Amino acid sequence: MPLHTLNIALADDDEDDRMLFKEAIDEIKIKTKLSLFNNGEELMEHLSLPGVVLPQIVFLDLNMPIKNGMQCLHEIRNTPCLKELLVAIYSTSSSEADIEETFINGANIYINKPNSFGALKKAIDKVLQLNWQYHTSALNRDNFLLRI
Amino acid sequence: MRIYLKFDFNTICKTVIQEQLNAMGMDYTIHGVGEVEFRRKPTQDEEQRMEDMLGNYGIEIMDDHQIALVQRVKDTVTEWILDEELPKRYNFSTYLSDKLNYTYTYLSSIFSEATYSSIENFVILKKIDIAKTFIGQNNLTLTEIAYKLNYSSVAHLSAQFKKTTGLTPSSFQKIIKKRKERSLTKE
């Protein structure tokens, strides 16, 4: 399957974090199209629009007002047309229990928000490279777990 | 004296392609702009000649060839990993370039350009992907999996697993098991 651009969605209530993410992704050589959302509610509304082009990967901040990352993850995994989306949790929490819980609930990727721009870029680059492979190769998506 | 010209690019391109392909004696149909279908698959030689002749006019044969080649590399990687004997007898880069009839350097550069990642990385990714399936099925020990996938030791497999996924094989196994239990109780 030829793939030319990765569509990416990010839901994060922190404006600085959204901007940093955007800057990092702009510097990565994989071609991407990024859509930004201020919280989970906005993201889920967007994903349920009729005829929407679904992203290949969704990055979710865990702690957001109105609808948090875990609630979005639940909804995505329980909605037939969204079930197959790759979901990356993007959070400051590094508690083992939190991490395990998100994976068990169906997250594919868990990223501890890195504390430097360089580390963030590196993490996103790794995630996107892997995604590219998962979208273009016969790899088993049910087993796609990655922790950074 | 000056004369003024107006171009119809579609007609120009079509005519150039027709002239060149006719000169080569190819049997083809032009579909719209930018797609030519051949009655029979052009040989590698013919493909090369078309690339050269059309190249003179700034017409490039698109990277479908590239996409197809990348796919063949991936298929060969999978075949190589799943075969228990091959890796013992050949070195992977030799096997791949012999099989696909291109130098390894050429294949590597095409692969990296198309996938943003190297063939070596893909081999690791694919091996770990298969290891994950085995681990999830729960009927092989890690030692057996390491042997099947031609790792020199369990430690080597575990280290590569951790490096690729960020998780140890045992925490991966635990997560997959709990996921299955949860989806069973839900249904």
* HSE value, Cβ hemisphere, 13 Å, CA-based, for B114: 27
Low-confidence ranges of chain A (pLDDT < 50): 1-2
Q: Is A145 on the interface with B (CB under 8 A)?
A: yes
Residue B174 lies in a domain: yes
Q: What is the pLDDT of residue B184?
A: 67
Mean of pLDDT values over B87-96: 86
Render pLDDT for A27-52 as a digit per residue (tens, 0 to 9).
988 889 999 999 999 999 999 998 88
Residues B129 and B93 in one domain: no
Residues B87 and B54 in one domain: no
Render pLDDT for B135-176 as a digit per residue (tens, 0 to 9).
988 889 999 999 999 899 999 999 999 999 999 999 999 999
List the single best residue of B66, B125, B175, B180 to mutate versus A (max A Cβ within 10 A).
Answer: B175
What are the extents of the domains in chain A? 6-38+45-114+130-147
User: Is the pLDDT confidence value at B31 over 60?
Assistant: yes
* The overall pTM is greater than 0.80: no
- Dihedral angle over CA of B96, B99, B105, B111, nearest 10: -70
Residue B48's domain spans which residues?
Answer: 9-62
Task: Please determine, for the modelled complex, whether the ipTM score is greater than 0.90.
Answer: no
The residue in chain A having the minimum alpha-carbon distance to the alpha carbon of residue B182 is A104
Mean of pLDDT values over B118-130: 93
Distance from CA of A146 to the nearest CA of B (A): 4
CATH number corresponding to A6-38+45-114+130-147:
3.40.50.2300
Distance CA A9, CA A46 (A): 10
CATH of the domain at B127: 1.10.10.60
